[in-house]
Structures are given as structure tokens and as C-alpha cells.
Amino acid sequence: MIEELRGFIITLCTAMFFITAVQMILPDNSLKKYCSFALGLLLVVIMLNPIVKLLNSQVDIYEEIDKSTAYIFDKEYEVDYEKYKKINIENTLENFQKNFESQCLSDLEDKFKDKKFSADVQASFDEENTTFKIDSMQIALKDGMIDKIKKVDIGGDNSVTVDKFEDSDDEESKEIKKYLSEKYEISQDIIYVSKR
């Protein structure tokens, strides 16, 4: 214990001497404050290392700093960044679709007060323009109280999708398409209206 304390005091005194010498050599300009900050961090690490070792003998703060430095210089963070970026885009796309569906339903029920609707919006992320793009919008006009089965997925990655969605072409459907197209500034070609 005495040897460890002696080693710590020698290391601390050496670091203080080194920090003082570097600060005396540096000219008085904007670089000096950044160097003082970095040297202060070095001093904090030196002072915390014995405390960390006392609390957890398996942790070496210098080893952790080396791992962090290797992580940055080996650019491992770029792989993590791309992975998290993809996950973030997928989650945002899913939320965008859900929010857009609820907004459509709300607007449709405000416009056509005596009707009930359901919506299914498919969107994608355009990386070039960094925007979300609506690929298709399926609106079901509910005639009865019971919903029909919309979609059945069979299997895993090679799934077969069964969907009974037929686009109506009557005046009411055209009016709904026109309203949504004007409201959200999207083409009527991607809006499908079905009566259920």
C-alpha cells in the first residue's frame, strides 16, 4: 500500500511538473486555453486512476483510454454510425407512416362526416433528398360495422401476401382521391379507394 501511494505521489508530481512546464512554454494565444484543458483532463485522469482501482481492481483507466482511442482511430464508430442510422431511418419511417395514416383518417372523417375510413400508407426514404416519400395510400371506405380481413402474411422472408383490395372508380371514390391529392399534394395515381 505504501509503495502504491509512493508511486501515485511520484506520478502526480511528475505530471504537475510536466503541465507547468508546458504551460510556461506555450505562447499567450487561443491555443493555450485548449492545451490547458487537455492537460487538466490528463491531471484528472491521473488523480482518478487510484480511486477507480480502489473501487474496482479489475478496471484500469489507462487501458480504457487506450480502448477508446483505438475505437476512434480504427474508425469502428463508422460501422456503428451506419447501423444506427439505418435503424433510426426505419423507426422514423414507421412512425411517419402511422402518423400520416392517423392524419388522413382525421381529415377524411372531418370532410366526410357520415363515413368511416381505414388507411394504409406505404412510404419510403429518399436518401438523395433526405425526405420521406409516399409510395401508395390505400383508403377503405367502411360501409358496415364489421371490418373485413385486410391482409394475411404467410411465411418469413419469402412471404406471400394476400390482400383483398380493389380500387373503386365511382364518384365518391374519385371525390376522396381528389380531396387527398389536393390536401397532401400527392398524385391521385398512388391513392387507392376501396369500399368495404
Contacts of 51 (CB under 8 A, 6+ apart): none
Of 64-73, 98-107, 123-132, 154-163, which one has max mean pLDDT? 98-107
Domain edges within the chain? 2-14+31-58, 91-195
- Residue 7 corresponds to which amino acid? G
pLDDT over threshold 70, residue 160: no
| 111-134 confidence digits (pLDDT tens) | 888 888 889 999 998 888 888 889
Tell me the H-state helices in the chain.
Answer: 2-25, 30-55, 61-73, 76-111, 171-184
CATH class as words, domain 91-195: alpha beta
What value does the mean pLDDT take over residues 94-115? 90
| pLDDT value for 143 | 65
Find out whether 117 and 109 touch, Cβ atoms under 8 Å: yes
pLDDT over threshold 60, residue 67: yes
Q: What percent of the chain has pLDDT over 90?
A: 13
Find out whether 137 and 190 touch, Cβ atoms under 8 Å: yes
| pLDDT value for 170 | 83
Least confident of 53-62, 87-96, 127-136, 161-170: 161-170
What value does the mean pLDDT take over residues 95-100? 92
| pLDDT value for 85 | 83
d(CA 116, CA 121): 17
DSSP 8-state class, residue 87: H
| 18-50 confidence digits (pLDDT tens) | 989 988 888 888 888 888 888 998 888 888 877
| 71-96 confidence digits (pLDDT tens) | 666 666 566 677 888 888 899 999 99
Whole-prediction pTM: 0.52
What is the total residue count of the chain? 196
